[in-house]
Amino acid sequence: MVSRVIPVEEFDLVIFGGTGDLARRKILPGLYRRFLSGQMPEGSRIIGAARADIDSDGYRQMIRDAIAEFGGEEKSDADGIEKFVAQLHYIPVDAKGEQGWKELHDLIRFELVNAFYFSVAPSLFGDLAERLHLHKIADSSSRVVVEKPFGRDLETAKALNSTLAKHFDEKQIYRIDHYLGKETVQNLMAVRFGNMLFEPLWNNHYVDHIQITVAETVGVGGRGAYYDTSGAMRDMVQNHLMQLLCLIAMEAPAEFGADAVRDEKLKVIRALQDIDPHHIVRGQYDADGDEPSYREDAENLKSHTESFVALRCEIANWRWAGVPFYLRTGKKLKARTSEIAVVFKDIGHSIFPGDEKRHRNILSIQLQPNEGIQLQVTIKEPGPGGMRLIDVPLDMTFAEALGPDAEDSTDAYERLIMDVIRGNQTLFMRGDEVEAAWEWTDPIINGWKARNDVPKHYDAGSAGPEDAMMLMHREGRRWREIKG
């Protein structure tokens, strides 16, 4: 299968925080791969901007080292690396002062597409936006990319949106959530809206429940100070899991366009019902041998911050009324996996004698580690001896179904950055969408504080607290096994 690469226009991309961890691990190695694919014109330039006092040659060496560490299979292409780093520039810039802004203005080519990536703390967004306009570097055609967290509650999200709105129109702002750039997430929309097979069944008449799981094997070591002020609800549920929920539950948009898709996602968030406290489980991982506990990782031995959360929610509209959506995410679990499972209802009556097992069709969308889609169906077990039924998967693991090109599938950051250059906001969150998500999340978090809720402890390497298992067991359902 031949991959169809669509090149973009020549551009200047400024990365504020260009020496930071995200830039070195994801952004620059991703752009390098886009360059090798022929998607990034050779006349384009990437300009790193940060407080580090280095020159462009020093920055190019930094990125050579980053590609050697994080560049994947392409890191051995010495000629490609040299051609790529030749397009890199660096300017020391003070976000809160005047250093470097004139030099940045003089370097920008205003006749091209200009994008500014704020790979910095949200507290600096306002300073950067103000100086970009004060020094006439950004204009009405510029694009700005901002990383999460988009606030820590509704109030701060509104303040952040207001700060950006002072200097940029909403159509210029790209709030990046890398989950939306994953190949399987986009395939979810293709499966739903591109196949007659599924859409007629995608409702409360045929779906029993839906599970969304994002499990990690790592703890919070190295970012414990940040995480302890955030927790799993703010760090994962309010954004990543909420976006997956919206895509699985939304109505078909009029077109595959930015506002059409985001309008439908917003309707889902606004239709979410308030959650009964008994339908929420918080957890915190314990020590495991030489591995520290959450509290030790966070350096706060009295912490009540959750490293795990599971909840049951419902959407109050005609399509989904009565269908529970079960969401869970956590650190230090038994495997690294992200999965959406659509569990269909039982058949009304079994005609096969002696078949007492519950058979259900399950559509499983695997986001990581192995992207793909499976449909569990019931068939006759091969061999003589009557009609013995077994459940088997119809498997479409992308690497197997689509060949070598699928194994070389584009990283989420690569895809999303190229969408910024194209001016396509479909896979980026809109301001009102972010605020609506916080409006639903805040009462849950505030309820924990009001009740002085304490997370349940769970063993590292497990599937989470026992209470999370009971969340489904008491309704006659079970979580799918967490496996990589």
Q: What is the dihedral of CA 5, 10, 12, 17, to 10 degrees?
A: 10
Using an 8 Å Cβ cutoff, are 44 and 13 in contact? yes
Cα 15 to Cα 9, 72, 147, distances in angstroms: 18, 21, 12
Tell me: cis bond preceding 253? Omega within 30 of 0 counts. Answer: no
133 labelled catalytic: no
Q: What three-state secondary structure class fits 71?
A: coil
Q: Are strands 389-397 and 207-215 parallel, antiparallel or unpaired?
A: unpaired
Nearest C-alpha neighbor of 350 from the set 342, 361, 339, 359: 359
Contacts of 14 (CB under 8 A, 6+ apart): 47, 49, 104, 108, 114, 115, 116, 117
Cβ-in-10-Å burial (0-12, 13-18, 19+) of 353 comes to exposed
CA–CA distances in Å: residue 190 to residues 194, 205, 408, 449: 5, 22, 20, 41
Alpha-carbon distance 129 to 281, whole Å? 40
Of 336, 347, 341, the closest CA to residue 326 belongs to 341
Helix (H, G, I), strand (E, B) or coil at 162: helix
Phi-psi region of 174 (alpha: psi -120 to 50; beta: other; left: phi over 0): beta
Torsion angle of C-alpha atoms 412, 418, 419, 421, degrees rounded to 10:
150
Decide if 34 contacts 87 (C-beta within 8 A).
no
Catalytic position from the list 240, 278, 279, 349: 240
Q: Listing from the earlier edge strand, what are the strands of the sheet with 173-176?
A: 88-92, 45-50, 11-16, 113-118, 143-147, 173-176
Tokens of 363: 């559509």
Query: Which residues, other chains included, contact 279 with Cβ-Cβ below 8 Å and sequence gap of 6+?
Result: 311, 312, 313, 471
**Which tokens go with 415?**
């895809």
Beta-strand runs (E) in 137-206: 143-147, 173-176
Active site residues: 240
